Structure 1
């Protein structure tokens, strides 16, 4: 379903609500030209629908293996893509696919109203979709699946919701501005800029896939510790975290290999320590030259959903966690980012994995977090790790 509407990702004079991953040079002047909002109930293949919509809007995504020029009148498109799920989302009002195409010139519309006060949002008590004991039991169930040989690793994701009232823009802008948020940004829809029915804020540090001049890059993150000197030392010394991380790097190498020129897949950096908010995380960089003719649908078909939020083997891991998680992942653990002008005017694709993501819809705020489970995972520690990942988001919402 394609709709045109006045909802924008950025409103001068209000709070900074730029789209996730948008080019900094474009942010002050972007305006919405067209929009796609699609729910799985609408039917069809979301990757093909997205590719066709962006191509029709003037973004040449049908062949990413070579450098392509973007027309000057199109700035680019913000994209939000939820992971496929057989479990109902706790935020059904948020579309499963959103693409907002922005113009690159001043909008043909009346001037934006002057700045006005933004009333503070109010966040109630958080209610998890499962108890700590139930979360720990799911971790143990994954360990049993590993013992049976069903999977090597699976990523278990939990969810919590809280009553939410008031204007969400300032709160979501704080989420998007969390330290280390490479894909910090906000999207909204379902109404006007002042009466949107759904909002999604992303503060993700993780690259699902980035493409420029035919070169594709993914940066999987696996391994977490508190952002202290001791936490950093523990992460570097942990054989468990390193083994879990390398499993996902191998999976990402295989995913990229499906759409790469033969012999071009490279691990450029392995187990580098990066900081996100209050946490240290381990990140690697895997790259490849795309094979001739690989378009957006083929690329996303290979790498989405990301290996670090599914597991290995990917399809088997998805089956395991789908039977364990109490609610769907909604817009989390999918993709969000920007497809449009790069610094040189050429097409740039930069999609983050929607970890560290919050949705607001129907009077509720929703957060998701989890972690990769391997044979020697400690259920109690995994529950604590998920809580540590959502804590900065909850704090930003309530500030």
Structure 2
């Protein structure tokens, strides 16, 4: 566990751009004040050390979602908020699951937080030098072949047939060597259409960029909300009709909505859980995706550690029941999920807004890493699942290639 206060970059903006989930009004005015990082090898689950760090830096994590005046009579005006990142491995530990294979990007901490203040934006911002820096991307190398991926789908179907699980999300990984400065490529990923949480977060020797459209958890104005996404088709009229008419996609989606309802119901600081919208269709980078909205009122003290332990890793990227799905994931996926399928976003004085890190990539100085997958049910066709994962990965690879 590392707290860094004096060694952070105090430039008026993070070098790679806006942090994921940061309020739009803060754009280009972020000044890093303090940094926290934690690795799973340190023991525990990291949630309490993170909470202590944020509290020490003037951010309430024990009464999230109330107004700033209710939480802190005097708010530290120097602190705007904090960017938060929690890896899939850290989420697995918080859920009491068995971590899977090691991350292919070990330089990235399992929990990372940067507390930001506001600085003055420069009068003129010349980005041409960034755009013109050379970036050469090599050939993508997958961590499993299409046949191996299809075989893992069959293994999940067998587990469902035995009654071990109802649905499991399988994720594949690929990486590519690169040369040059990846800054512009990462910004292209963060700027993909539909990237609700688009942004870049970086540390010592690594960076991640996300184009995530999915809300893992938002707490604001007395309400805690999760918006699971499950179900994908090409963004055409035929694709939309096919998605809306797919019994397989709807059944899988409803199972995940039930899981998220149960996760929210585990929180002692919330009231009755309700589904505000079921199977709404949204567009992301040329794909239709089905999204639901599950919410509960904040009825008491709602803490960041409790939220992370209840909701991480997200149900839409694990499966149901979650403990059994995590065991299948650890058994079948040959490479760790790294920065994908975790959480990233923003904690302000009066709200929390975390994305699920789907559509998320990482660089480590030598290689670019990306992940994609999908939920597997008893009705899944292995070759269709392989094709769906490729369709999800395509916009990310195109953005990186420029």
Please report the TM-score for the alignment, with normalisation by the length of structure 2: 0.91
Range with greater deviation from structure 2 (156-165 or 40-49):
40-49
| Structure 1 contact 271–283 (Cα < 8 Å) conserved | yes
Confirm or deny that 1:72 pairs with 2:77. Answer: yes
Secondary structure in 2 aligned to 1:78? strand
| Structure 1 contact 204–352 (Cα < 8 Å) conserved | yes
Secondary structure in 2 aligned to 1:281? strand
Confirm or deny that 1:83 pairs with 2:88. Answer: yes
CA distance in 2, matches of 1:162, 1:375: 33
| Residue 187 of structure 1, aligned match among 201, 204, 223 | 201
| Structure 2 contact 88–339 (Cα < 8 Å) conserved | yes
| Structure 1 contact 65–295 (Cα < 8 Å) conserved | no
| Structure 2 contact 171–371 (Cα < 8 Å) conserved | yes
CA distance in 2, matches of 1:389, 1:351: 21
Note closer, same or farther for the CA distance 1:267–1:188 as it changes in structure 2 (3 Å cut): same
Confirm or deny that 1:298 pairs with 2:299. Answer: no
Give RMSD over aligned pairs.
2.1
Please name the residue that 1:393 is paired with: 396
Please name the residue that 1:279 is paired with: 287
Q: How does 1:142-161 map to 2 (within 5 A)?
A: 142-161=156-175
Secondary structure in 1 aligned to 2:139? coil
Please name the residue that 2:384 is paired with: 381
> Which whole-Å deviations, capped at 9, do the CAs of 1:42-76 have from their partners, x for residues lacking one?
33321112111111111111122633345322111
| Structure 1 contact 203–355 (Cα < 8 Å) conserved | yes
Secondary structure in 2 aligned to 1:140? helix
Aligned-residue offset at 1:11:
3.6
| Structure 1 contact 10–27 (Cα < 8 Å) conserved | no
Secondary structure in 1 aligned to 2:211? strand
Q: How does 1:204-283 map to 2 (within 5 A)?
A: 204-259=212-267, 264-283=272-291
Secondary structure in 1 aligned to 2:165? coil
> Which whole-Å deviations, capped at 9, do the CAs of 1:249-299 have from their partners, x for residues lacking one?
000000001115675211000000000101100000000023422200011
CA distance in 2, matches of 1:214, 1:263: 10
Aligned-residue offset at 1:336:
0.4
Aligned-residue offset at 1:178:
0.3
Secondary structure in 2 aligned to 1:92? coil
CA distance in 2, matches of 1:122, 1:62: 45
Q: How does 1:160-175 map to 2 (within 5 A)?
A: 160-175=174-189
| Structure 2 contact 39–109 (Cα < 8 Å) conserved | yes
Please name the residue that 1:193 is paired with: none
CA distance in 1, matches of 2:144, 2:224: 38
Note closer, same or farther for the CA distance 1:155–1:353 as it changes in structure 2 (3 Å cut): same
> Which whole-Å deviations, capped at 9, do the CAs of 1:104-126 have from their partners, x for residues lacking one?
3449xx99996561203111000
CA distance in 1, matches of 2:341, 2:110: 12
Please name the residue that 1:357 is paired with: 360
| Structure 2 contact 81–347 (Cα < 8 Å) conserved | yes
Please name the residue that 2:54 is paired with: 54
> Which whole-Å deviations, capped at 9, do the CAs of 1:193-219 have from their partners, x for residues lacking one?
xxxx10100100000000013310000
Question: Structure 2, unaligned stretches of length 5 or more?
Answer: 70-74, 90-98
| Structure 1 contact 9–18 (Cα < 8 Å) conserved | no
Secondary structure in 2 aligned to 1:117? helix
Secondary structure in 1 aligned to 2:59? coil
Paired positions, count: 384
Secondary structure in 2 aligned to 1:146? helix
Note closer, same or farther for the CA distance 1:121–1:9 as it changes in structure 2 (3 Å cut): farther
Please name the residue that 2:206 is paired with: 198
Note closer, same or farther for the CA distance 1:59–1:112 as it changes in structure 2 (3 Å cut): farther
CA distance in 2, matches of 1:161, 1:128: 7
